[in-house]
A and B are shown apart, each in its own frame.
Chain A
Amino acid sequence: MDDELTRQCRRWLAADEAGRDDEADAAFKKTFAALPPVVVPAPFTAGTLHAVSAVLAADRRRARLARVAVVAVTSLGTALGLYFGAGWIVSALSTAMVAFLDLVVAVVVKGAAAADHGANLWGVLFGLGRAAAAFLTEPKVTITLLAIQGIAAAALFALQRLLGADAESFK
Protein backbone atom coordinates (compact mmCIF):
# COMPACT_ATOMS: atom_id res chain seq x y z
CA MET A 1 0.00 0.00 0.00
CA ASP A 2 2.73 2.44 1.06
CA ASP A 3 4.91 1.36 -1.84
CA GLU A 4 1.95 1.87 -4.14
CA LEU A 5 1.40 5.41 -2.83
CA THR A 6 5.07 6.23 -3.26
CA ARG A 7 4.96 4.77 -6.78
CA GLN A 8 1.88 6.85 -7.62
CA CYS A 9 3.55 9.95 -6.19
CA ARG A 10 6.61 9.43 -8.39
CA ARG A 11 4.38 8.73 -11.38
CA TRP A 12 2.51 11.97 -10.72
CA LEU A 13 5.71 13.99 -10.38
CA ALA A 14 7.09 12.50 -13.61
CA ALA A 15 3.82 13.06 -15.48
CA ASP A 16 3.54 16.66 -14.29
CA GLU A 17 7.18 17.29 -15.24
CA ALA A 18 6.56 15.86 -18.71
CA GLY A 19 3.27 17.76 -19.12
CA ARG A 20 1.13 14.59 -19.31
CA ASP A 21 -1.88 16.20 -17.64
CA ASP A 22 -4.35 13.28 -17.61
CA GLU A 23 -1.79 10.88 -16.16
CA ALA A 24 -0.71 13.46 -13.57
CA ASP A 25 -4.37 13.99 -12.64
CA ALA A 26 -5.00 10.24 -12.14
CA ALA A 27 -1.76 9.60 -10.27
CA PHE A 28 -2.20 12.63 -8.03
CA LYS A 29 -5.72 11.51 -7.11
CA LYS A 30 -4.24 8.26 -5.78
CA THR A 31 -1.35 10.09 -4.09
CA PHE A 32 -3.80 12.38 -2.34
CA ALA A 33 -5.04 9.39 -0.33
CA ALA A 34 -1.74 9.56 1.58
CA LEU A 35 -2.94 12.67 3.46
CA PRO A 36 -3.65 11.90 7.12
CA PRO A 37 -7.43 11.61 7.55
CA VAL A 38 -9.38 14.33 9.36
CA VAL A 39 -11.43 12.62 12.05
CA VAL A 40 -14.88 13.88 12.99
CA PRO A 41 -15.11 13.94 16.80
CA ALA A 42 -17.99 11.92 18.25
CA PRO A 43 -19.80 14.83 19.97
CA PHE A 44 -19.73 16.99 16.83
CA THR A 45 -23.17 15.94 15.55
CA ALA A 46 -24.95 16.44 18.86
CA GLY A 47 -23.14 19.73 19.50
CA THR A 48 -24.00 21.06 16.05
CA LEU A 49 -27.65 20.05 16.32
CA HIS A 50 -27.87 21.70 19.72
CA ALA A 51 -26.28 24.90 18.37
CA VAL A 52 -28.57 24.91 15.31
CA SER A 53 -31.68 24.42 17.49
CA ALA A 54 -30.61 27.26 19.79
CA VAL A 55 -29.92 29.64 16.89
CA LEU A 56 -33.17 28.78 15.06
CA ALA A 57 -35.15 29.22 18.30
CA ALA A 58 -33.49 32.61 18.86
CA ASP A 59 -34.30 33.58 15.24
CA ARG A 60 -37.95 32.63 15.73
CA ARG A 61 -38.08 34.63 18.99
CA ARG A 62 -36.51 37.64 17.27
CA ALA A 63 -38.94 37.40 14.34
CA ARG A 64 -41.90 37.19 16.75
CA LEU A 65 -40.65 40.21 18.67
CA ALA A 66 -40.15 42.12 15.43
CA ARG A 67 -43.73 41.34 14.35
CA VAL A 68 -45.10 42.44 17.72
CA ALA A 69 -43.02 45.63 17.54
CA VAL A 70 -44.25 46.42 14.03
CA VAL A 71 -47.88 45.88 15.03
CA ALA A 72 -47.45 47.96 18.19
CA VAL A 73 -45.66 50.83 16.45
CA THR A 74 -48.12 50.82 13.55
CA SER A 75 -51.15 50.76 15.85
CA LEU A 76 -49.73 53.48 18.07
CA GLY A 77 -48.74 55.60 15.09
CA THR A 78 -52.15 55.22 13.52
CA ALA A 79 -53.91 56.07 16.78
CA LEU A 80 -51.73 59.13 17.38
CA GLY A 81 -52.06 60.19 13.78
CA LEU A 82 -55.83 59.95 13.93
CA TYR A 83 -56.01 61.74 17.28
CA PHE A 84 -53.78 64.68 16.38
CA GLY A 85 -54.37 64.79 12.66
CA ALA A 86 -58.09 64.07 12.45
CA GLY A 87 -58.98 67.77 11.92
CA TRP A 88 -56.35 68.26 9.29
CA ILE A 89 -57.20 64.96 7.58
CA VAL A 90 -60.91 65.83 7.37
CA SER A 91 -60.02 69.31 6.10
CA ALA A 92 -57.58 67.94 3.54
CA LEU A 93 -59.95 65.24 2.37
CA SER A 94 -62.81 67.75 2.01
CA THR A 95 -60.51 70.14 0.11
CA ALA A 96 -59.44 67.29 -2.14
CA MET A 97 -63.07 66.32 -2.63
CA VAL A 98 -64.07 69.90 -3.50
CA ALA A 99 -61.10 70.23 -5.84
CA PHE A 100 -62.06 66.95 -7.49
CA LEU A 101 -65.65 68.14 -7.97
CA ASP A 102 -64.28 71.44 -9.37
CA LEU A 103 -62.21 69.38 -11.78
CA VAL A 104 -65.19 67.34 -12.91
CA VAL A 105 -67.30 70.48 -13.37
CA ALA A 106 -64.46 72.24 -15.21
CA VAL A 107 -63.99 69.25 -17.48
CA VAL A 108 -67.68 69.11 -18.32
CA VAL A 109 -68.02 72.89 -18.80
CA LYS A 110 -64.81 73.32 -20.80
CA GLY A 111 -65.56 70.25 -22.88
CA ALA A 112 -69.07 71.46 -23.65
CA ALA A 113 -67.87 75.03 -24.37
CA ALA A 114 -65.09 73.77 -26.62
CA ALA A 115 -67.51 71.51 -28.51
CA ASP A 116 -69.92 74.43 -28.77
CA HIS A 117 -67.24 76.71 -30.26
CA GLY A 118 -66.04 73.99 -32.58
CA ALA A 119 -62.55 73.83 -31.05
CA ASN A 120 -60.12 71.21 -32.33
CA LEU A 121 -58.92 68.19 -30.36
CA TRP A 122 -55.74 69.91 -29.13
CA GLY A 123 -57.76 72.79 -27.78
CA VAL A 124 -60.00 70.40 -25.81
CA LEU A 125 -56.99 68.48 -24.47
CA PHE A 126 -55.26 71.73 -23.50
CA GLY A 127 -58.31 72.81 -21.51
CA LEU A 128 -58.60 69.48 -19.76
CA GLY A 129 -54.84 69.49 -18.97
CA ARG A 130 -55.11 72.92 -17.38
CA ALA A 131 -58.03 71.76 -15.24
CA ALA A 132 -56.13 68.62 -14.13
CA ALA A 133 -52.97 70.66 -13.37
CA ALA A 134 -55.01 73.13 -11.32
CA PHE A 135 -56.39 70.19 -9.34
CA LEU A 136 -53.04 68.55 -8.72
CA THR A 137 -51.16 71.72 -7.79
CA GLU A 138 -53.60 72.61 -5.05
CA PRO A 139 -51.22 72.26 -2.01
CA LYS A 140 -53.64 70.34 0.16
CA VAL A 141 -54.46 67.96 -2.69
CA THR A 142 -50.78 67.31 -3.36
CA ILE A 143 -50.05 66.66 0.29
CA THR A 144 -53.09 64.44 0.64
CA LEU A 145 -52.08 62.37 -2.37
CA LEU A 146 -48.53 62.01 -1.06
CA ALA A 147 -49.85 61.09 2.39
CA ILE A 148 -52.14 58.42 0.90
CA GLN A 149 -49.18 56.96 -1.01
CA GLY A 150 -47.03 56.99 2.13
CA ILE A 151 -49.71 55.26 4.17
CA ALA A 152 -50.18 52.64 1.43
CA ALA A 153 -46.41 51.96 1.31
CA ALA A 154 -46.22 51.68 5.10
CA ALA A 155 -49.20 49.34 5.16
CA LEU A 156 -47.62 47.13 2.49
CA PHE A 157 -44.35 47.00 4.42
CA ALA A 158 -46.13 46.14 7.66
CA LEU A 159 -48.15 43.45 5.89
CA GLN A 160 -44.97 41.96 4.45
CA ARG A 161 -43.41 41.81 7.92
CA LEU A 162 -46.50 40.24 9.38
CA LEU A 163 -46.83 37.56 6.73
CA GLY A 164 -43.24 36.31 6.66
CA ALA A 165 -40.50 35.72 9.18
CA ASP A 166 -37.74 38.26 8.89
CA ALA A 167 -35.58 38.21 5.79
CA GLU A 168 -37.20 35.12 4.23
CA SER A 169 -40.21 37.14 3.16
CA PHE A 170 -38.03 39.57 1.21
CA LYS A 171 -36.08 36.96 -0.73
Chain B
Amino acid sequence: MTEARLVSQALAGAQPAFEQIVRRYQRPVINFIARVTGDRAGAEDLAQETFIKAFRNLAAFDTTRRFSSWLLRIAHNTAVDAIRRARVRTVPLEPADRATEGPRGEPMAPAAPDPVERGDLGRALERALARLRPEHRAAIVLRYHESLSFDDIGTVMNVPAATARTYVHRARRELAGLLTAAGWEPTR
Protein backbone atom coordinates (compact mmCIF):
# COMPACT_ATOMS: atom_id res chain seq x y z
CA MET B 1 0.00 0.00 0.00
CA THR B 2 1.35 3.47 -0.85
CA GLU B 3 2.27 6.01 1.83
CA ALA B 4 -0.43 8.45 0.69
CA ARG B 5 -3.14 5.78 0.83
CA LEU B 6 -2.04 4.64 4.27
CA VAL B 7 -2.11 8.21 5.52
CA SER B 8 -5.56 8.91 4.08
CA GLN B 9 -6.90 5.72 5.68
CA ALA B 10 -5.33 6.69 9.01
CA LEU B 11 -6.89 10.14 8.70
CA ALA B 12 -10.25 8.45 8.22
CA GLY B 13 -9.62 6.72 11.55
CA ALA B 14 -8.83 3.21 10.23
CA GLN B 15 -7.04 1.34 13.01
CA PRO B 16 -5.28 -1.12 10.63
CA ALA B 17 -3.70 1.85 8.83
CA PHE B 18 -2.29 3.15 12.13
CA GLU B 19 -0.91 -0.28 12.86
CA GLN B 20 0.65 -0.64 9.44
CA ILE B 21 2.30 2.78 9.71
CA VAL B 22 3.79 1.89 13.10
CA ARG B 23 4.98 -1.52 11.87
CA ARG B 24 6.48 -0.07 8.72
CA TYR B 25 8.40 2.78 10.33
CA GLN B 26 9.13 1.67 13.89
CA ARG B 27 12.56 0.21 13.05
CA PRO B 28 13.97 3.28 11.23
CA VAL B 29 12.49 5.63 13.83
CA ILE B 30 13.86 3.72 16.86
CA ASN B 31 17.20 3.18 15.16
CA PHE B 32 17.51 6.84 14.22
CA ILE B 33 16.62 8.11 17.69
CA ALA B 34 18.84 5.53 19.40
CA ARG B 35 21.81 6.54 17.26
CA VAL B 36 21.22 10.26 17.72
CA THR B 37 20.62 10.19 21.46
CA GLY B 38 22.89 7.24 22.23
CA ASP B 39 20.24 5.87 24.57
CA ARG B 40 18.65 2.64 23.36
CA ALA B 41 16.07 2.27 26.14
CA GLY B 42 15.06 5.92 25.99
CA ALA B 43 14.77 5.67 22.22
CA GLU B 44 11.66 3.49 22.55
CA ASP B 45 9.88 6.14 24.63
CA LEU B 46 10.95 8.89 22.24
CA ALA B 47 9.86 6.79 19.25
CA GLN B 48 6.46 6.34 20.86
CA GLU B 49 6.32 10.11 21.42
CA THR B 50 7.20 10.56 17.74
CA PHE B 51 4.31 8.36 16.57
CA ILE B 52 1.89 10.12 18.90
CA LYS B 53 2.95 13.55 17.57
CA ALA B 54 2.69 12.27 14.01
CA PHE B 55 -0.82 10.87 14.43
CA ARG B 56 -2.00 13.98 16.26
CA ASN B 57 -0.80 16.17 13.41
CA LEU B 58 -1.55 13.83 10.53
CA ALA B 59 -4.04 16.35 9.11
CA ALA B 60 -1.16 18.78 8.60
CA PHE B 61 0.86 16.29 6.53
CA ASP B 62 1.27 17.30 2.91
CA THR B 63 0.48 14.09 0.99
CA THR B 64 2.56 15.21 -1.98
CA ARG B 65 5.70 14.74 0.14
CA ARG B 66 7.37 11.60 1.51
CA PHE B 67 5.76 10.40 4.71
CA SER B 68 8.99 8.76 5.90
CA SER B 69 10.87 12.08 5.66
CA TRP B 70 8.10 13.85 7.56
CA LEU B 71 8.09 11.18 10.25
CA LEU B 72 11.89 11.22 10.56
CA ARG B 73 11.73 14.99 10.87
CA ILE B 74 9.42 14.63 13.86
CA ALA B 75 11.75 11.95 15.24
CA HIS B 76 14.72 14.27 14.75
CA ASN B 77 13.00 17.16 16.54
CA THR B 78 11.94 14.85 19.35
CA ALA B 79 15.48 13.51 19.75
CA VAL B 80 17.04 16.99 19.65
CA ASP B 81 14.52 18.25 22.21
CA ALA B 82 15.38 15.30 24.45
CA ILE B 83 19.08 16.02 24.17
CA ARG B 84 18.48 19.71 24.92
CA ARG B 85 16.43 18.85 27.97
CA ALA B 86 19.35 16.63 28.97
CA ARG B 87 16.84 13.90 29.49
CA VAL B 88 19.24 11.51 27.85
CA ARG B 89 23.00 11.35 28.02
CA THR B 90 24.85 10.96 24.76
CA VAL B 91 26.89 7.91 25.64
CA PRO B 92 27.73 4.86 23.54
CA LEU B 93 24.96 2.32 23.11
CA GLU B 94 27.04 -0.50 24.65
CA PRO B 95 26.92 0.02 28.42
CA ALA B 96 28.87 -3.19 29.05
CA ASP B 97 32.07 -1.70 27.67
CA ARG B 98 32.84 0.38 30.75
CA ALA B 99 36.58 -0.07 30.39
CA THR B 100 36.63 2.52 27.62
CA GLU B 101 34.68 5.18 29.50
CA GLY B 102 36.09 8.09 31.40
CA PRO B 103 35.40 8.78 35.09
CA ARG B 104 32.09 10.51 34.32
CA GLY B 105 30.95 8.06 31.70
CA GLU B 106 32.23 10.00 28.70
CA PRO B 107 33.78 7.82 26.05
CA MET B 108 37.55 7.73 25.78
CA ALA B 109 39.67 6.60 22.88
CA PRO B 110 40.09 2.86 23.43
CA ALA B 111 43.34 1.02 23.25
CA ALA B 112 44.29 -0.21 19.80
CA PRO B 113 42.10 -3.24 19.06
CA ASP B 114 42.93 -6.30 17.15
CA PRO B 115 40.58 -5.61 14.26
CA VAL B 116 39.47 -9.10 13.41
CA GLU B 117 35.90 -9.16 14.66
CA ARG B 118 32.86 -7.35 13.37
CA GLY B 119 31.92 -6.61 16.97
CA ASP B 120 35.14 -4.72 17.58
CA LEU B 121 34.66 -2.55 14.54
CA GLY B 122 30.98 -2.01 15.34
CA ARG B 123 31.71 -0.99 18.91
CA ALA B 124 34.58 1.25 17.87
CA LEU B 125 32.33 2.91 15.31
CA GLU B 126 29.57 3.28 17.86
CA ARG B 127 31.90 4.91 20.39
CA ALA B 128 33.22 7.26 17.73
CA LEU B 129 29.65 8.07 16.63
CA ALA B 130 28.75 8.96 20.21
CA ARG B 131 31.49 11.59 20.25
CA LEU B 132 30.11 13.51 17.28
CA ARG B 133 27.84 16.54 17.56
CA PRO B 134 24.14 15.50 17.50
CA GLU B 135 23.51 17.10 14.10
CA HIS B 136 26.50 15.28 12.62
CA ARG B 137 25.30 12.00 14.13
CA ALA B 138 21.84 12.53 12.72
CA ALA B 139 23.20 13.36 9.26
CA ILE B 140 25.44 10.27 9.24
CA VAL B 141 22.63 7.93 10.29
CA LEU B 142 20.20 9.40 7.75
CA ARG B 143 22.77 9.11 4.99
CA TYR B 144 24.29 5.71 5.69
CA HIS B 145 21.54 3.85 7.50
CA GLU B 146 18.40 5.29 5.93
CA SER B 147 20.14 5.93 2.59
CA LEU B 148 18.51 9.35 2.22
CA SER B 149 19.60 11.89 -0.37
CA PHE B 150 21.12 15.18 0.83
CA ASP B 151 17.84 16.90 -0.12
CA ASP B 152 15.88 14.52 2.12
CA ILE B 153 18.43 14.85 4.93
CA GLY B 154 18.02 18.61 4.66
CA THR B 155 14.24 18.23 4.86
CA VAL B 156 14.47 16.00 7.92
CA MET B 157 16.95 18.26 9.71
CA ASN B 158 15.40 21.52 8.49
CA VAL B 159 18.63 22.72 6.88
CA PRO B 160 19.58 23.33 3.24
CA ALA B 161 20.82 20.32 1.27
CA ALA B 162 24.29 21.89 1.04
CA THR B 163 24.47 22.09 4.83
CA ALA B 164 23.36 18.44 5.08
CA ARG B 165 26.17 17.50 2.68
CA THR B 166 28.67 19.44 4.81
CA TYR B 167 27.43 17.74 7.99
CA VAL B 168 27.85 14.29 6.42
CA HIS B 169 31.27 15.09 5.02
CA ARG B 170 32.61 16.58 8.25
CA ALA B 171 31.12 13.82 10.37
CA ARG B 172 32.68 11.12 8.22
CA ARG B 173 36.08 12.83 8.35
CA GLU B 174 35.77 13.18 12.11
CA LEU B 175 34.81 9.51 12.45
CA ALA B 176 37.81 8.57 10.32
CA GLY B 177 40.07 10.56 12.63
CA LEU B 178 38.57 8.96 15.72
CA LEU B 179 38.89 5.43 14.34
CA THR B 180 42.44 6.03 13.18
CA ALA B 181 43.29 7.34 16.66
CA ALA B 182 41.71 4.19 18.08
CA GLY B 183 44.10 2.01 16.10
CA TRP B 184 42.21 1.30 12.88
CA GLU B 185 44.79 1.70 10.16
CA PRO B 186 43.97 2.80 6.62
CA THR B 187 45.02 0.59 3.72
CA ARG B 188 48.58 1.43 2.65
- Chain A interface (Cβ < 8 Å from any Cβ of B): 1-3, 5-7, 9-14, 16-17, 21, 24-25, 28-29, 31-32, 34-38, 40-41, 44-45, 47-49, 51-53, 55-56, 59, 168, 171
Contact = CB atoms under 8 A, between A and B. Distances in A.
Interface of B: 15, 18-19, 22-23, 26-27, 30-31, 34-35, 40, 43-44, 47-48, 51-52, 55-56, 59-60, 93-94, 115-119, 121-123, 125-126, 129, 140, 144-145, 169, 172-173, 175-176, 179-180, 184-188
A9 B19 contact: no
A10 B187 contact: yes
Nearest to A2: B118
> Nearest 4 A-B pairs (CB), nearest first?
A13-B186, A14-B186, A32-B144, A16-B176
A28 B128 CA distance: 14
B145 to A, nearest CB: 7
A165 to B, nearest CB: 9
A121 B55 CA distance: 64
Main secondary structure of the interface of A (DSSP, over half): helix
Main secondary structure of the interface of B (DSSP, over half): helix
A28 B122 contact: no
B30 A40 contact: yes
Contact of A36 (B47, B52, B94): B94
A11 B40 CA distance: 30
Given A16-B186, A38-B93, 20 more contacts: A2-B121, A6-B116, A11-B187, A13-B184, A13-B186, A13-B187, A16-B173, A24-B172, A25-B172, A38-B27, A38-B35, A40-B26, A44-B47, A45-B23, A45-B26, A49-B22, A52-B51, A52-B55, A55-B52, A55-B55
A31 B30 contact: no
B162 to A, nearest CB: 15
Given A16-B176, A168-B59, A49 B126 contact: no
Given A10-B187, A14-B186, A36 B55 contact: no
A1 B176 contact: no
B186 to A, nearest CB: 4
A32 B145 contact: yes
Contacts of B55: 52, 55-56
A44 B44 contact: yes
A11 B179 CA distance: 13
A142 to B, nearest CB: 41
